[in-house]
Amino acid sequence: MMRKPEFALWAFVILAGLAAGTAVLNLARSQSAVAAGSDIYRQLDLFGDVLERVRSDYVEKPEDAKLIESAINGMLASLDPHSAFLNAKSFRDMQVQTRGEFGGLGIEVTMEKGVVKVVSPIDDTPAARAGLLSGDLITHLDDERIRGLTLQQAVEKMRGKVNTPIKLTVVRKGKEEPLQIKIVREIIRINPVKARAEGDVGYLRLTTFNEQTYSELKKSVAKLNKEIGSDLKGYVIDLRNNPGGLLDQAISVSDAFLEKGAIVLTRGRNKQETQRSNARPGDITNGKKIAVLINGGSASASEIVAGALQDLHRGTIIGTRSFGKGSVQTIIPLDGNGAIRLTTARYYTPSGRSIQAKGIEPDIVVEQELPDELKKKSPKSRGEADLPGHLMGESRDKTPKDGEDGDKEAKGSAEDEEKKESSGSSAYVPKDPEKDTQLKFALNFIRGLQADAAKDKNSAAN
d(CA 225, CA 284): 10
SS3 252: helix
Beta bridge partners of 188: 102
**168: closest CA among 134, 133, 144?**
144
Catalytic residue among 254, 277, 298, 325: 325
Single-letter residue type at 431 = K
SS3 314: coil
**428: closest CA among 241, 155, 200?**
241
Catalytic residue among 220, 277, 300, 354: 300
d(CA 37, CA 52): 23
**240: closest CA among 272, 212, 205?**
205
**251: closest CA among 303, 304, 294, 206?**
304
Q: Is 300 a catalytic residue?
A: yes
d(CA 172, CA 373): 31
Answer whether 125's CB lies under 8 Å from 106's CB: yes
Q: What angle do CA 121, 126, 127 make, to 5 degrees?
A: 30
SS3 286: coil
Instruction: Please return the burial class of 44, using the count of CB atoms within 10 Å of its CB with bins 0-12, 13-18 and 19+.
Output: exposed
Q: Is 325 a catalytic residue?
A: yes
Backbone angles phi, psi at 201, to 5 degrees: -125, 135
Q: Is the dihedral of CA 351, 265, 96, 63 positive or negative?
A: negative
The conformation of residue 433, written as its DSSP 8-state character, comes to G
- Cβ neighbours, 10 Å, residue 394: 23
**204: closest CA among 190, 188, 218?**
218
Q: Is 354 a catalytic residue?
A: no
Catalytic residue among 311, 358, 426, 436: 311
Residues annotated as catalytic are 300, 311, 325
